Amino acid sequence: MPFAVLANEPIQEENWGVGIGIRSASMPFKTNGNTVNDVVPLLFYQGDNVYLEGASGGIHFYQSDTFSLGFAAGLRFFDIPRYAQNTIQGSQIDVGGRVTWHYSPKLDISLDLMSDNDGRIYSNLTTDYRIDGEGWDVSLYATLRLNLHVLMIHITACRWRILVPP
């Protein structure tokens, strides 16, 4: 194929990325330090059916413009003192199902039903609003988590990424 033809083909945006996150959490334990810090590798990929969103991901079994249904998995951190982390191995991957209502092109509402390795079941209700710019995007989201006997409100301000043009 001549180079002139290749130059006229549109450039497609990449559907993957790699990042790194730094996490800091307070612990309720009486120890020398009351915080734990982690460096977390983040993987991003958006395929036709498979997706990765940082420390979580899943598979879409059904998708339409207004609704999607699928398998979900996510890394959950267990906040204990650093000296006990390798012994207890509390951080794990939770698995379950996710239903997402695509309210608008920028707003999604998701409901997860998840379980950990010990069979503890919980549910998340999440709203996610996306803002796209020239070479960057921001995702503002809030999550309400329902455990068996405890109602917790977990709100995360935002996640964002900068897209570097080729």
pLDDT for position 157: 47
User: How far is C-alpha 143 from the chain's CA centre?
Assistant: 11
Total structural domains in the chain?
Answer: 1
Distance CA 128, CA 161 (A): 15
Using one digit for the tens of pLDDT, what is the confidence trace for 134-148?
A: 878 788 888 888 876
Q: Does residue 45 sit within a domain?
A: no
Predicted pLDDT of residue 75: 87
Q: Is 156 among the domain residues?
A: yes
Is 34 within a domain? Answer: no
41 domain-assigned: no
Predicted local distance difference test score (pLDDT) of residue 160: 52
Residue 145 forms part of a structural domain: yes
**C-alpha dist (Å) from residue 79 to 23, 84, 120:** 11, 10, 17
Report the C-alpha gap between 93 and 114 in whole angstroms: 10
Is 147 a domain residue?
yes
User: pTM for the complete prediction?
Assistant: 0.72
For 86, the domain range is: 55-162
Residue segments in the chain with a per-residue pLDDT below the cut of 70: 1-14, 29, 33, 82, 85-86, 89-90, 148-166
How many whole angstroms separate alpha carbon 156 and alpha carbon 105?
21
